[in-house]
Amino acid sequence: MKAMLSTDPGGPETLELTDLPDPEPGKGQVLVRVHAAGVNYPDTLIIRDLYQMKPRRPFAPGGEIAGEVLSCGEGVSNVKPGDRVLALTGYGGFATHAVAPAQALVPLPDAMPYDVAAAFIFTYGTSYHALHDRAAIKPGETLLVLGAAGGVGSAAIELGKAAGARVIAAVSSEEKAAFCTSLGADDTLVYAKEMDRDAQKSLSNEIKTLTGHKGADVVYDAVGGDYAEPALRAMAWQGRYLVVGFPAGIPSLPLNLPLLKGVQIVGVFWGDAVRRDPQAHAANMKALFDLYAEGRIAPPVSAHFALPETAQALNLMQDRKVMGKVVILMDAPE
């Protein structure tokens, strides 16, 4: 097998393409021939030891895979060799072969290609859990998505529309705004790349204008930093502010604002929610596969990379240049 290994903490350039013996699945485990792996923001953190999960080195990053079952360890009965599956692995996915716990595998619909599957579970799982389990979004409500052109943001646009919400997509460029419009966003706004106090006031005022001064019922914040406060200031009474991620930094919020607006600030830790309530996760996945089958959601894969090009894909992600999802193809020509 081949794998992109992290041998020392550092950026994408520190990853090394390495030949390794094919692994053997242990009790309760499955060996998967990886066809495609999704690239997600945590992949840029875990190689720097900045993520909550810190695997022992050497390890391959990559927490989202789609592929074919090659062999099963003792006690595995839910899958068999030849089955098409997708899985969250935490790490180990940027490799041609991966061992995963059998209970982590999700059967892959025949009509879903491997690259689409690798762009599906992390972003749509996160956004579905955020909007439905944490925000209880309702038809007719207004959803503001910060960082709307990224993986989880673009999924939130589609899922918000599927839930009957009006969606405002907030992004950093006109190109990204056009992309969000193509996904179904009702309105877009372009915020400044540097947020001083004037830019914050401008962002807050624009949100209020687009909502008829009612404010957003739900804010999906996948950006954080200095973008958080102006969005919080532009929320509706009893709105729900979803804390999803903070590539722009961890914000400091004045807590008088949620008091005055009756707003709930709600954390979204999807990975732990999956671990704590696997039955709810299974129900969410069924709902997502149904939406995909109905053509109401479709992961926008904007770029494919071969395994040796993993560093390029991670650089796009950490520089916030990704629109939709980026996927590593293990069978792509080098």
pLDDT of residue 334: 47
The pLDDT assigned to 332 comes to 59
Within-domain flag for 285: no
Q: Does 109 share its domain with 145?
A: no
133 and 87: one domain? no
Domain enclosing residue 164, as ranges: 124-271
Same domain for 220 and 134:
yes
| CATH code for the domain in which residue 29 is found | 3.90.180.10
Do residue 12 and residue 91 come from a single domain? yes
pLDDT tens digits along 193-208: 899 999 999 999 999 9
Instruction: Give the separation between CA 285 and CA 289, rounded to whole angstroms.
Output: 6
DSSP secondary structure of 213-239: TS-EEEEEESS-GGGHHHHHHTEEEEE
Domain co-membership, 153 together with 266 = yes
Do 138 and 263 share a domain, yes or no? Answer: yes
Q: How many domains, in total, are found in the chain?
A: 2
In a domain, 94, yes or no: yes
- Give pLDDT < 70 ranges for the chain: 332-334
pLDDT of residue 320: 80
Tell me the pTM.
0.90
Is the distance from CB of 265 to CB of 282 less than 8 angstroms? no
Q: pLDDT tens digits for 21-57?
A: 999 999 999 999 999 999 998 999 999 999 888 999 9
* Residues in Cβ contact with 182 at an 8 Å cutoff, skipping those fewer than 6 apart: none
